[in-house]
Structure 1
């Protein structure tokens, strides 16, 4: 009550125009508090039933996003429409052994950046760190290898610290277990030889090569010699494998050192260099380069690769497995590398799209095209015009969705290391050529007649 008297007295002391303004404001506030439309409607409206319409989250259109950047639909990577048929050799390799993924540490790499480049679950990284924190200590030149289970989780991971020591992590029922494996024996070369009688895979396995070793030579030669397509009955081969021996007994399968393959008048020879890569007898690379950008000039990236992207409405993980470029309709789209067109068709979500296979490790996808300029079976070269960009399928604006697939998994085309067709450095090449010539003669001497 005392407060009310003080407030009234103070208000009377204000100028008349201020008193009027204060009174008007107080009246409006009082009316607003008294007015409750939900409780003061007529009986006609009170009898009306309210019906709620449920909308599927995926059908809600986010105008804020549409006005900012062009977006495409999320494509289900398991959609049979996008699956590429596999030949007999690929089917056998997939059925018998896990696909081995690898990465050589370069300047600036961290464990987190590597996991991001290859879309490996970040949750697995933290569980690996819990198993042993030294996994984060990476140095330039070290090699990381891993395999994934059917759920996409890291099944095994190893880091070759040096020629003697390798850190290994294996997923078990209670999580990851860590073990440092050190080579203490003597490394010796073992020769495995054979003749192709049916398929190369079966013949190599009969000669003593493991599925992973077969996979190694098949992928090393994927750009130069396709074992699934070119290998013929009667072809001869010899492989040298570096194995560890302790007290005269072989330990493990060992790493493939070199291969010499004879197919009619054609000779194929490869040998591993100290950098872990395979080269021909002259020290030339077996790889063919891939380009990161499928256009003649660089356009702005409107949406980056993000395997952990969340849907803006549902909050669920909705991966963006490619890179979107904001290009106007009709922009020429160029092949990222030499390869074979394995898909060229229309899809209700992807619109006009093309899939190109590059060797056995890599594929590229190009979505939302306005026009396709190649057909299935066409052999194309790096930089060749294969399409024109567009806005077809479920797309909110003109753009190109570009994907790079490595070992059947989408990876970040803007960051992941790409195969580069560079020879061994000149200073080391002469030494390599001498060693390769001697190794080739040794393999020829044990080759089946």
Structure 2
């Protein structure tokens, strides 16, 4: 008779209370096995000097199949090892602007699914619903915006119901407050002009732009012109801004409509068209596309994105901020988009890892690699082979851990909308080109001499 059959027969002969105690002990030891799952566990049977090997492989395989990394140890995204230094413009905006996130509602989405995509606390969602249940009534095409604090708690939340009406929620010391804001004034375009004398941020502020408008320009033009690194003394700019006026007085700083920027012989033009998309003079998108999968083909997801994952024994939250793909060691890992390598190193938990910065809004992380093929400072293109997958660091089996970071917060790379770099829709192209030409000429006419 095989050893495990002997063990089962022996256990069946034990008193009920002993069998319960043995089961409890086995459960605790199961957690320990997560650190060394290949080693057998030896238990002493109660009331019997004979030691038997208890086979727990079935439970281990099930748990390992659900988690590619030990649940009790997670990589802290705030670990100094992973932090990317900020340039001057990023530091200035960080001091003045509460980072705002936005999402345009698509078919089939609910408030809950959106909170899940962006790893927002579900408890915050229920608190918002308690204040005003209408927050759940989302329609396709509506835009929602929110801000979070350093602890990830939602501090501001808004739903733009129409061109003039916005539902707003703010976190106070007594919980969330609700207000419906209605724009009752007249929207007029205002043109602001300036010349770079120091940093772009200070020069733009001197011209009358707000920190939020500067952030919009920095993010929307990040792939065409980097205001933090490429702006030079003497550069000139003109920015068209929509402002709300009531009785002739400006009451709203408004949204950026268009910009014309001259740096030497280099000309940069961009105009908003549609909900929140910016295009150049030819109707091409200013975005750079990101691919959803950093692999050549689809592989089984062994651990999904789950910011509220709980440890099966302690019950504590042990978030999984990425998506794990069960891939053999040596599988090609591809860059999810164009960008610059800002980290290429080794970490006790993450193993060999790479971090790529894609403009000013996105970053991607690739963990547990077998071999890194790029170094810090390398420029990469979408689909470029950057590494081989592996099983380094704290890992329960070969896999690739992939993270998408948007505005310094992990999001679900498998579900959140990604920039697609699509041009102006063909049905609107003729209209856009006419409006863009008119706007460009208007801004050019008022450029500083």
TM-score range, shorter chain: 0.7 to 0.9
Residue 85 (structure 1) aligns with:
85
1:143-162 alignment runs, 5 A limit: 143-162=143-162
Residue 294 (structure 1) aligns with:
294
1:9-408 alignment runs, 5 A limit: 61=34, 63=37, 64-65=59-60, 68-69=64-65, 71-72=68-69, 73-408=73-408
SS of residue in 2 equivalent to 1:223: coil
Instruction: Provide the C-alpha distance between the structure 2 equivalents of 1:58 and 1:164, rounded to a whole number of angstroms.
Output: 55
Residue 26 (structure 1) aligns with:
none
Residue 22 (structure 2) aligns with:
none
What TM-score do the two structures reach when normalised by structure 2? 0.86
Instruction: Provide the C-alpha distance between the structure 2 equivalents of 1:229 and 1:56, rounded to a whole number of angstroms.
Output: 54
Residue 413 (structure 1) aligns with:
413
2:34, 2:396 within 8 Å by CA — same for their partners in 1? no
When the two structures are aligned, how many residues end up with a matched partner?
Answer: 400
Residue 434 (structure 2) aligns with:
434
After superposition, the Cα gap between the structure-2 partners of 1:347 and 1:116, relative to the gap in structure 1 and judged at 3 Å, is same
Instruction: Provide the C-alpha distance between the structure 2 equivalents of 1:414 and 1:195, rounded to a whole number of angstroms.
Output: 43
Shift of 1:401: 0.3
SS of residue in 2 equivalent to 1:254: coil
CA deviation vs aligned residue, 1:91-120 (integer Å, no higher than 9, x gap): 111121111101011111110000000001
Instruction: Provide the C-alpha distance between the structure 1 equivalents of 2:373 and 2:119, rounded to a whole number of angstroms.
Output: 31
CA deviation vs aligned residue, 1:337-392 (integer Å, no higher than 9, x gap): 00000000111110000000001100000000000000000000000000000000
Shift of 1:173: 1.2
What are structure 1's unaligned runs of at least 5 residues?
1-28, 36-54
After superposition, the Cα gap between the structure-2 partners of 1:59 and 1:93, relative to the gap in structure 1 and judged at 3 Å, is farther
Shift of 1:60: 6.4
Instruction: Provide the C-alpha distance between the structure 1 equivalents of 2:280 and 2:427, rounded to a whole number of angstroms.
Output: 16
1:337, 1:381 within 8 Å by CA — same for their partners in 2? yes
Shift of 1:131: 1.1
1:200, 1:231 within 8 Å by CA — same for their partners in 2? yes
Residue 12 (structure 1) aligns with:
none
SS of residue in 2 equivalent to 1:441: helix
Instruction: Provide the C-alpha distance between the structure 2 equivalents of 1:413 and 1:316, rounded to a whole number of angstroms.
Output: 24
1:235, 1:262 within 8 Å by CA — same for their partners in 2? yes
RMSD: 2.0
CA deviation vs aligned residue, 1:194-238 (integer Å, no higher than 9, x gap): 111111111111111111110001000111111111111110011
1:57, 1:314 within 8 Å by CA — same for their partners in 2? no
Instruction: Provide the C-alpha distance between the structure 2 equivalents of 1:276 and 1:159, rounded to a whole number of angstroms.
Output: 15
Shift of 1:278: 1.0
After superposition, the Cα gap between the structure-2 partners of 1:32 and 1:281, relative to the gap in structure 1 and judged at 3 Å, is closer
CA deviation vs aligned residue, 1:396-443 (integer Å, no higher than 9, x gap): 110000000000000000000000110111121111111111111111
Instruction: Provide the C-alpha distance between the structure 1 equivalents of 2:201 and 2:15, rounded to a whole number of angstroms.
Output: 82
SS of residue in 2 equivalent to 1:229: coil
Shift of 1:182: 1.1
**Which protein has the larger Cα radius of gyration, Structure 1 or Structure 2?**
1
Shift of 1:61: 2.9
